[in-house]
Structure 1
Amino acid sequence: MRRTAVYLGALTLAATAWTAGTASAAPHTPTHVDSTSFSAAQQNAALRFWTTERLRAAKDLSAPAQLAGLTAETAETAETAVPQSAGAAVTVPPVTATGASATGESAVGEFAAASSPTAWTGGGLISTTAGKVFFQNATGGTYTCSATVANSDNKSVVLTAGHCVVNASTGEVYKNWVFIPGYANGTRPYGTFTARSLLFDSDYVSSAGNANWDFAFAVLGTVNSRTLVDTVGAQGIAFNSANGQHVHSFGYGGSSAEGSGERLNHCEGDEFIDAGRVGSTMWGIDCVQTGGSSGGGFLSSFDTSNGSGYLIGNISVSSGSNEYHPVLTDEALGVYRQAGAA
């Protein structure tokens, strides 16, 4: 496993929106990116490691306590240690994979009630691009999160939570990291994709886990010589987008009401600012998915008829009846760009 820290200089891009395979945006502010790579041997070992029994035994990961609320000792730092101001809007469109068949019906029947996640039965692109993450920590514990495929130049990137790739208290990057798109009741309909590298903003660790930076991207290998996007498609992704939108969130919550982590669940609502954490720049909705949903996607402009939209964040923390996501500003754009070029 190789870990590197990369400082990205200002990148001057054209002032139009991104299209698949073509980057364009406003000048980019420097971002510090932490990147850990895994050798082919380590990826093969991860594939062997995740037997059906180990998948079932993995524990649902919840956000660390320090993400949910900041202590008085760190409050003063948190007020100044916030993500940079949003720059020009940058969007990458979703894409449907040729031959990928989505499960479920063509449209969702009932919208999820506020504060109550429900099983996603709408099929479409989200049913193939959302999936479960499995990994192991330094002491041998095995855990599970959620992630979503994001369209990228290398067709191999997923968005998840920072706390699903690294221990912010110690800087330990997790190992045997795999993603199973379309996971349902223990099945692997499109195979198991192993991580080639994990990338996150170094401010997440240097701040000891400030949830404002609780996002990460994983670059995955191939299955049967096919990339992730060629296999299952990808959601779009948007940076520096407007806040306060009507959004949908998806994850594999571990409670019995959510199917004990064996099915994809759905929430939706109009997002609002996180007013409960000192220094928070996060936004959320009136719905809570439980442990295991961490890293699942928040999507705007979501079309329930075909299951596609634009990722604007990932499930990070919950408080009361609400769940929140970090916003994807220029800092997240820098991490994403490096992941897409890997």
Structure 2
Amino acid sequence: MRARAGGIAALVLGAVIWSAAPVSAAPAEGVQRTTIGAAERATALRFWTDARLRSARDLDAPPAASTPPAASAAGGRQAAPGTGEEVRVAPLPAPGAAAAAPALAASDPTPWTGGGLISTTAGKVFFQNAGGGTFACSATVANADNKSLVLTAGHCVVDAGTGEVYRNWVFIPGYANGDRPHGTFTASSLFHLDQYVATAGNANYDLAFARLAPLDGRSLGDTVGAQGIAFNAATGREVHSFGYGGSAAEGNGERLNHCSGVEYPDAGREGSTMWGIDCVQTGGSSGGAFLADFDAGSGGGYLVGDISVSAGSSEYHPVLGNEALDLYRQAGAA
């Protein structure tokens, strides 16, 4: 994500076409799925040496398009993400998880030392673009039928300008100072919304799911647990955000950081349906969790969005509406 609006230029991820890119398919209207085979996953595991993890750049969000091109040309307003009846999936406790310490209110990013479910389900994402650049984001395990999903930002999966889906995509749950306490999980499928690319990166649709392959015969959820997730949830309530920001004050991307506050609507971007809090986590936190109903005793809650963009002293997340629910159901069935 961006540290401040206008403070960091858009990160250009390259326009070189990668000839060996996996084949993408659309399993449902509005959903794009990229399937990654066993050979590519093995390559990803070999690729991400400790040295490459250290050299990966913390990814900043590209500027959020205020309206889709067609709407801008017509002078109209974009459609908001669909809403409907709330759907909630409860958290999955981690095996033998210890209780979390009480969560303290934080309007600036502070190190998360509370332990609990968030300490195992939050993690870092690493990937490579077609030009060979290596980058880092954040993601969070979301409970699903296949016990194998993480929620992250759309811009951590696909280049909205070119439609390029990134390769060598891995997730390291509980990442801390280069340690991989639960191993390195490779993506077997990546899912993003058609609208995100069709609108050239409108942040209202800046979300994605990754389906992770089992590691040593165990699913991601059975290894580290999973956060709950809620779609069409109520807004304007207390939320907690977690990410691996890359600034020196946030530990240079080597530790999990935490913010909290009562969320408010994004009033600064025409057509925005996003909600945010008075806090800014910097590049590398993109894709990190926004959790509602966060329980300080367990470290668990319900995902209601991912860290996407920031402006001034605020960071914002897209809402998880009907489009996100369709994406989740497709990813959870993969």
TM-score, normalising length: structure 2:
0.90
Query: Structure 1 203/68 Cα, relative in aligned 2: closer, same or farther at 3 Å?
Result: closer
RMSD: 1.7
State the match for 1:92 in structure 2: 89
State the match for 1:304 in structure 2: 296
- Among 126, 129, 132, which residue is 1:134 paired with? 126
Give unpaired runs (5+ residues) of structure 1. 8-30
Could you tell me how far apart the structure 2 residues matched to 1:106 and 1:302 are? 11
Determine helix, strand or coil for the equivalent of 1:6: strand
Q: Could you tell me how far 1:5 is from its partner in structure 2?
A: 1.5
Aligned residue pair count = 313
Q: Could you tell me how far 1:69 is from its partner in structure 2?
A: 5.3
- Among 151, 166, 172, which residue is 2:158 paired with? 166
Could you tell me how far apart the structure 2 residues matched to 1:302 and 1:325 are? 16
Matched-pair contact (CA < 8 Å) for 1:83–1:331 = no
Query: Structure 1 201/61 Cα, relative in aligned 2: closer, same or farther at 3 Å?
Result: same
Could you tell me how far apart the structure 2 residues matched to 1:224 and 1:71 are? 43
Could you tell me how far apart the structure 1 residues matched to 2:331 and 2:178 are? 28
Identity %: 64
Q: Write out per-residue CA displacement over residues 210-229 of structure 1, whole angstroms, 9 at most, x where no aligned residue.
A: 00000000000111110000
Matched-pair contact (CA < 8 Å) for 1:90–1:238 = yes
Q: Could you tell me how far 1:83 is from its partner in structure 2?
A: 3.2
Could you tell me how far apart the structure 1 residues matched to 2:327 and 2:146 are? 14
State the match for 1:49 in structure 2: 47
* Residue 96 of structure 2 corresponds to residue 124 of structure 1: no
Could you tell me how far apart the structure 2 residues matched to 1:147 and 1:82 are? 27
Matched-pair contact (CA < 8 Å) for 2:82–2:323 = no
Query: Structure 1 141/211 Cα, relative in aligned 2: closer, same or farther at 3 Å?
Result: same
Q: Could you tell me how far 1:68 is from its partner in structure 2?
A: 6.8
Q: Could you tell me how far 1:71 is from its partner in structure 2?
A: 9.7
Could you tell me how far apart the structure 2 residues matched to 1:68 and 1:226 are? 40
Q: Could you tell me how far 1:106 is from its partner in structure 2?
A: 3.2
Give unpaired runs (5+ residues) of structure 2. 1-21
Amino acid at match of 2:279: C
Could you tell me how far apart the structure 2 residues matched to 1:77 and 1:61 are? 33
Q: Could you tell me how far 1:305 is from its partner in structure 2?
A: 1.7
State the match for 1:247 in structure 2: 239
Matched-pair contact (CA < 8 Å) for 1:68–1:317 = no
Matched-pair contact (CA < 8 Å) for 1:255–1:290 = yes
Q: Could you tell me how far 1:107 is from its partner in structure 2?
A: 1.0
State the match for 2:331 in structure 1: 339
Matched-pair contact (CA < 8 Å) for 1:78–1:279 = no
State the match for 1:198 in structure 2: 190
Q: Write out per-residue CA displacement over residues 98-119 of structure 1, whole angstroms, 9 at most, x where no aligned residue.
A: 24x45xx73146321x2x1100
Q: Could you tell me how far 1:70 is from its partner in structure 2?
A: 6.0
State the match for 1:110 in structure 2: 104
Aligned pairs for 1:1-342 (under 5 A) are: 1-7=22-28, 31-65=29-63, 67=64, 75=72, 80-99=77-96, 101=97, 106-108=100-102, 110-112=104-106, 114=107, 116-342=108-334
Q: Could you tell me how far 1:79 is from its partner in structure 2?
A: 5.2
Query: Structure 1 68/255 Cα, relative in aligned 2: closer, same or farther at 3 Å?
Result: farther
Q: Write out per-residue CA displacement over residues 252-309 of structure 1, whole angstroms, 9 at most, x where no aligned residue.
A: 0000000000000000000000001111000000000000000001000001121000
